[in-house]
Amino acid sequence: MHLQKTVLITGGAGFVGSYLCEKLLDAGNPVVCVDNFFTGRRANIAHLLANPMFEVVRHDITLPYFAEVDEIYNMACPASPVHYQFDPVQTTKTSVIGAINMLGLAKRVKAKVLQASTSEVYGDPSVHPQTEGYWGNVNPIGPRSCYDEGKRCAETLFFDYRRQHDVHIKVARIFNTYGPRMLPNDGRVVSNFVVQALKGDPITIYGNGKQTRSFCYVEDLVDGLIRLMGTDKAVTGPINLGNPGEFSMLELAEMIIELVGSRSEIVFRPLPVDDPRQRQPDITQAAEKLGWAPTTPLKAGLGKTITYFDQLLRGLEDHSRVRPPAAVVR
């Protein structure tokens, strides 16, 4: 018998958060979506608003929030360089003060709380693939530090709340994720390449194109997050969630050009500061502790993503509004 749980999702109107809201509602759980709509979009959750078990609250988690809930997914924080570098001080506040506020809430109401951490805690890694035991190679004072170090500090807080207050925590280190509902102007590599290919613009690769990333389809990721939340108190993480398939930026660009049927040319630009050269998750722990592995091949996931962006672009009168900015890509 399904035991109903009231679930709070911060950043619930965001790219990943909206899928999480959808999945947990489908499972019969009341869901409270909290979002300040900096990068979250009402369109992402519009189809859920008629559900009487769904509640939306406009709120910034750098301010305290009070609710009676059983589980908390702390997804709130801009995750693309364009957005987290727009207001780096606020990004750090969201990661650190937001974590304190959600941990405090979890402590008061005895809720499970999951932190959406990131592969960025590994920085520009000297270990490949990255295991959870690797401590990382992160610049603490660079332009990406607001996000990288903010997430690292949030992990510290989660484990200190567990040690000091016995809070039931979960920490997921999320690797590059893609799919429909990504913002077209967020500066991430998949959205950049897809939008440029659909418009026939030159595809911009930063560096020589040999740097690698691993791309996980959003629905696979959400399945991993829910599995992690469902584990007992002994399983805290951090646990890597991502697709171990590794692709260079050049391989990704060529695949997207082929799938779109685009005439876009590839152009090269200087590599941004602190951009990681390699990124690939070791998901051994996810397989052993969660029984989880991604199932969506990159071409299949890209096909769905391309269809989404194609429909989005056709619905916009002024395509310049979604031109990907020249910025760091994840």
- What's the confidence (pLDDT) of residue 330? 40
pLDDT at 187 over 90: no
Average pLDDT in the 210-230 region?
Answer: 96
For 101-132, how does the pLDDT look when each residue is reduced to its tens digit (9 = 90+)? 999 999 999 999 999 999 999 999 999 999 99
CA distances in angstroms from 119 to 66, 123, 181, 184, 220, listed in the order given: 30, 8, 21, 22, 16
pLDDT at 1: 47
Domain boundaries along the sequence of the chain: 7-177+216-241, 178-214+245-277+296-322
∠ CA(303), CA(248), CA(285), 5° rounding? 85
Q: What is the pLDDT of residues 6-36, one digit of tens each?
A: 999 999 999 999 999 999 999 999 999 999 9
Q: Please, what CATH class does the domain formed by 7-177+216-241 belong to?
A: alpha beta
Predicted local distance difference test score (pLDDT) of residue 3: 73
Least confident of 71-75, 91-95, 313-317: 313-317
Query: The pTM is what?
Result: 0.92
What confidence tier does 325 reach under pLDDT thresholds 50, 70, 90? very low
Note the pLDDT of residue 279.
87
Say what the pLDDT of residue 315 is.
86
Residues near 232 by beta carbon (within 8 Å), at least 6 away in sequence: none
Torsion angle of the four alpha carbons 126, 132, 135, 140, in this order, in degrees rounded to the nearest 10:
90
Choose the CATH number for 178-214+245-277+296-322 among 3.90.25.10, 3.30.70.370, 3.30.310.80, 3.30.1330.60.
Answer: 3.90.25.10
Which pLDDT score, from 0 to 100, does residue 185 have?
85
Mean pLDDT for the chain? Answer: 92
> For 116-149, b where at least 16 C-beta lie within 10 A, e where not — what string?
bbbbbbbbbbeeebbebebebebeeeebbbbbbb
Q: What pLDDT does 95 receive? A: 97
Could you tell me which of 191, 212, 210, 208 has the C-alpha nearest to residue 79?
A: 191
Identify the residue whose tokens are 């096909």. 303
Active site residues: 147
- The answer to whether residue 88 scores a pLDDT higher than 60 is yes
